[in-house]
Structure 1
Amino acid sequence: MDVSHILLHSYSRQSPVEFYTDSLIFRPVRSRLSPALGSLRAPSFRWWFLSQVLSASGTMTQGVAQSWLVLRLTGSGLDLGILGSCYMLPVLLGGPWAGALVDRVDRRRLLAVTQVLFILLAGALAVLTFTGAVRVWMLFLLAFVTGAVSAPDGAARQVYVLDLVGGERLASAVSLNEVVINVSRVLGPATGGIFLATLGVPFCFVANAVSYLPPLAVLLTQRRRAGRGAAPIRRAPAGPGAVRAGLRYAWSTPALRYCLLMAAASGMLFNLGVGLPLLATRTFHLGGGGYGLMMATFGVGGVAGALLAASGRGMPSGRSVRLLALLTGISILATAAAPLASMAFAALGITGALSIWFIARANTLAQLRAAPSMRGRVMGIWVMALPGAQPITSPIVGFTAEAAGPRAGFGLAGAALLLAAAAGWRSLADAGVATEPAAGVTAAPDRSRADVAAGRPEAPALQPTR
């Protein structure tokens, strides 16, 4: 019996409705989701992904409790801003140094250390609140230390997924990380609200400490398993020039430079706690429920955008990244200019999808375009740009909203993203074919796009120049 007879026999048992439903709906959906979920086929990444859902949700739960505790202690909105700045300042200033550290040490071991530190910091918050000894300056200090740990942790997480899945599945892994972030935006605050209403503030910190145990267990039980075709890790030399070399490399490589600038510009959008509540309350006259629904709408769109980004195969082209940046900027401006709340909700959902699609593809392009010896430093600078630049961009958004209105404040992210995309339009015109060699290195012969997408190492011809 040949294949055609087998297929005919299979479909003959289906009704016409079942046949057309399977052919026109489910089969295309399955074919689209297959590459999107491809990174989950790697067992090491699958366990890491599941643990990150819990860990990110625990972080969001603690964030809700910290803000509530600051307001209970001082009732000052300024103190809330200081709390956020204390966390973000080390991320902004320490990003390049954190990236240099990631290039020098084993990423798995570094992440295991940061998980332990996060557990201790959350435990300290729990003890201080349980005993009633907590003061607002203690919250500021612990937020600063947490930010200092988050700088190397964030850079290491970015590169570690490439160690696990390889370049061919990196787009799927990076995009699924965006799914984790958007799911945690729902689960974390919801858990925090329930704990605040029932068990009290200390249990939010306990929940966060416990949430780091699954990723720690994953890191301790799995040894590094490189994804298919992943390049071997090359440790960068230690020294004071390593950070300067990383900054110089990222700025002198046009594709990386403009991806980083666009990431910093998009931070104005992703810090939804500044521009969106003003747009919801002052422009569309919505209450807390309406603001929460806007946040959820953006999150649902973000999940869709992450799946779209994950469905791409191999290395994204510079052209696709610049186009998505352009569309994201337009959708942000459309949301800000929406005359009706219903239209703003629709535009916000589209903005969520496009922005996450864009940022996931830009992150993938930056990782695969960076030379392996520079990848940690490039990702450290990425974390410095997003979310590290928010202590700079958030006050700008707030000032614009107060001076020119909430629409202008929210739309500022769209204008900044359009300017960054326009500045890098020509530099991102290529198809993303080759990794950019690090400074002081003679480039090997050009590799094919398939080699780059698979994360295959450069040819041995790379030699230091004298």
Structure 2
Amino acid sequence: MSAPAPTPPVRRPRLALGGLAVAHTMAQAGNTITVFATPFYVRSIGGSNTEVGLAVTAATLPIVLGGPLAGVLVDRIGYRLSSIAADIISGLTVLAIAVLGSTGSLPLWGLLAVLFVSGLFDTPGQTARTVLLPSLARGADVPLERAVGLVTGAERTAMLAAAPLGGVLVMLLGPAQAFFVDAAFFAVSALLVTALVPRATPTHEDDDEQSTEKDGAGYWRQLADGARFVLATPLLRNIALVVLVLNAFDTARLNVLLPLYALEELNGPNGELGNATAAGLISGALAAGALAGAALFSAWGHRLPRRALFVGAFALTGGPLSVAFALGAQTFPLVAVAVGTGLAAGMLNPLIGTLRLELAPPRMLARVQTLMISIAWAGIPVGSFLSGVAADVFDLRLVFAVIGVAYVLVALAPLTGGSWRQLSARRAPPSR
């Protein structure tokens, strides 16, 4: 059996890795602005709270539907090209919102259609940038954990900067015009990957084993094998279900109810558009706290008891901020509580990511990750739509109160025992 042909060495590998991280930041910032500006655009054309929830659902549902298919598409098209193509298509879709919305030619049904198309390409783009990391990290002689941490920090930085920026853009330019800047972020991401990420990156011997498996089984069979493994592993199954429910609550609170709360409850200096800035500050505070939480987990997470951290962090993520909204808090108290909420949430994502890596066998690592993420995201469109309906039917503060109570009750599930006791076990990560 002949050895695989060597691929050309990566020039300036650390620059390529840094460029990928910055490109990821730009793309995530674009996604954040899209989700943030959408409710304000719907309200600007006279949409109801239910229609706000429907629009956010249209932006997030395709991520759930396209998630399981993304791995195959990215493998067939190529990682670098997939990233570039996804950013270009996402940029063109939000540019269409900006152009048509600015001229008053984009009705609600048209917005829903464009958001759905845009969302279909978010997961392939993010997946492509993620799977580029191992080869770029090897070429730059950087530990994979550090490379993953770099990109995770980039995501948090994007949320930290883009949420308040989205509020400022909505206030200064208008809801539709904010999408012009949104399109520019996707364009920068595509240009960075084109210019800095090489066409070919070093391979390693594990790639041959993975390719052999892909050749021996079709896509649907591999997908079914991964699904069966997730469903047959009690701890993975329980984590997926809890995260699904709590993601539904989170998207209800932050993507739908927070903009509505800003419009109805906060005392903005410039009417509705000033309230968009307040909502952006709250979202930015959440991202800042999450960035700090991720850093704390990186430093001390291996020393903390996992089950206690899982329960405590989830309870703190869902309880205090919901109570603050239910009590009618104004901008600056909400910003303070949001920092603490983000701190707790920021420790959860790397913990859950670590558990997914430890529990999945190496031969189906990617499938398990994709399926777990898709299951987790499945609650987001449901939460978006139902929260919009609830806000039209019930008092907004009451909706926040109900979500807060339900959130904490679900977060306490690991205390019931059973397979949840395995949370405390430390496992060796799968060998590469």
Same fold per TM (> 0.5)?
Answer: yes
Secondary structure of the corresponding residue to residue 242 of structure 1: helix
Distance change >3 Å, CA 218–CA 321, structure 1 → 2: farther
Q: Which residue of 1 aligns with 2:50?
A: 78
Distance change >3 Å, CA 200–CA 274, structure 1 → 2: closer
- 1:328 and 2:313 matched: yes
Q: What is the identity, as a one-letter code, of the residue corresponding to 1:232?
A: D
Q: Which residue of 2 aligns with 1:356?
A: 346
Q: Which residue of 2 aligns with 1:387?
A: 377
Q: Which residue of 1 aligns with 2:193?
A: 219
**Residues 305-333 of structure 1, C-alpha deviations (whole Å, 9 max, x = no match):** 121233369xx69x854332111133246
- Report the alpha carbon displacement of residue 138 of structure 1 after superposing the two structures with TM: 1.2
Q: Which residue of 1 aligns with 2:243?
A: 263
Name whichever of 270-279 and 337-346 sits farther off: 337-346
Greater fraction of residues in helix: 2
Q: Which residue of 2 aligns with 1:416?
A: 410
Q: Aligned equivalents of 1:434 and 1:329: distance in 2?
A: 24
Secondary structure of the corresponding residue to residue 164 of structure 1: helix
Q: Which residue of 1 aligns with 2:226?
A: 246
Q: How many residues end up aligned between the 2 structures?
A: 391
Q: Which residue of 2 aligns with 1:430?
A: 425
Q: Which residue of 2 aligns with 1:112?
A: 84
Distance change >3 Å, CA 238–CA 102, structure 1 → 2: farther
- Report the alpha carbon displacement of residue 132 of structure 1 after superposing the two structures with TM: 4.1
Distance change >3 Å, CA 308–CA 409, structure 1 → 2: same
Q: 1:306 aligns with which of 283, 294, 312?
A: 294
Q: 2:93 aligns with which of 101, 115, 121?
A: 121
Q: Aligned equivalents of 1:346 and 1:120: distance in 2?
A: 37
Distance change >3 Å, CA 355–CA 171, structure 1 → 2: farther
Distance change >3 Å, CA 192–CA 54, structure 1 → 2: same
Q: Which residue of 2 aligns with 1:204?
A: 178
Q: Aligned equivalents of 2:323 and 2:172: distance in 1?
A: 40
**Residues 312-360 of structure 1, C-alpha deviations (whole Å, 9 max, x = no match):** 69xx69x854332111133246515679869976654333112111112
- Report the alpha carbon displacement of residue 142 of structure 1 after superposing the two structures with TM: 0.7
Tell me how large the CA RMSD over aligned residues is: 3.9
Query: Percent identity among equivalent residues?
Result: 23
Q: Aligned equivalents of 2:178 and 2:34: distance in 1?
A: 6
Name whichever of 51-60 and 269-278 sits farther off: 269-278
With the length of structure 2 as denominator, give the TM-score of the two structures.
Answer: 0.74
Give the unaligned 5+ runs of structure 1.
1-40, 436-451, 458-466
The residue correspondences of 1:136-215 to structure 2 (distance < 5 A) are: 136-165=108-137, 169-201=143-175, 203-215=177-189
Name whichever of 299-308 and 205-214 sits farther off: 205-214
Q: Which residue of 1 aligns with 2:23?
A: 51
Q: Aligned equivalents of 2:405 and 2:128: distance in 1?
A: 32
Q: Aligned equivalents of 2:307 and 2:260: distance in 1?
A: 29
- Report the alpha carbon displacement of residue 173 of structure 1 after superposing the two structures with TM: 4.2
- Report the alpha carbon displacement of residue 90 of structure 1 after superposing the two structures with TM: 2.0
Q: Aligned equivalents of 1:171 and 1:372: distance in 2?
A: 16
Q: What is the identity, as a one-letter code, of the residue corresponding to 2:154?
A: V
Q: Residues 308 and 357 of structure 1 are in contact (CA less than 8 Å); yes or no, is this contact kept in structure 2? A: yes
* Structure having the higher Rg: 1
- Report the alpha carbon displacement of residue 201 of structure 1 after superposing the two structures with TM: 4.9
Q: Residues 92 and 385 of structure 1 are in contact (CA less than 8 Å); yes or no, is this contact kept in structure 2? A: yes
- Report the alpha carbon displacement of residue 145 of structure 1 after superposing the two structures with TM: 1.0
Secondary structure of the corresponding residue to residue 218 of structure 1: helix
Secondary structure of the corresponding residue to residue 433 of structure 1: coil
With the length of structure 1 as denominator, give the TM-score of the two structures.
Answer: 0.69
Q: Aligned equivalents of 1:132 and 1:275: distance in 2?
A: 25
Distance change >3 Å, CA 258–CA 225, structure 1 → 2: farther
Give the unaligned 5+ runs of structure 2.
1-12, 269-274
The residue correspondences of 1:366-381 to structure 2 (distance < 5 A) are: 366-367=356-357, 369-381=359-371
Q: Residues 164 and 279 of structure 2 are in contact (CA less than 8 Å); yes or no, is this contact kept in structure 1? A: no
- Report the alpha carbon displacement of residue 275 of structure 1 after superposing the two structures with TM: 5.8
Q: Residues 301 and 352 of structure 1 are in contact (CA less than 8 Å); yes or no, is this contact kept in structure 2? A: yes
- Report the alpha carbon displacement of residue 363 of structure 1 after superposing the two structures with TM: 1.7
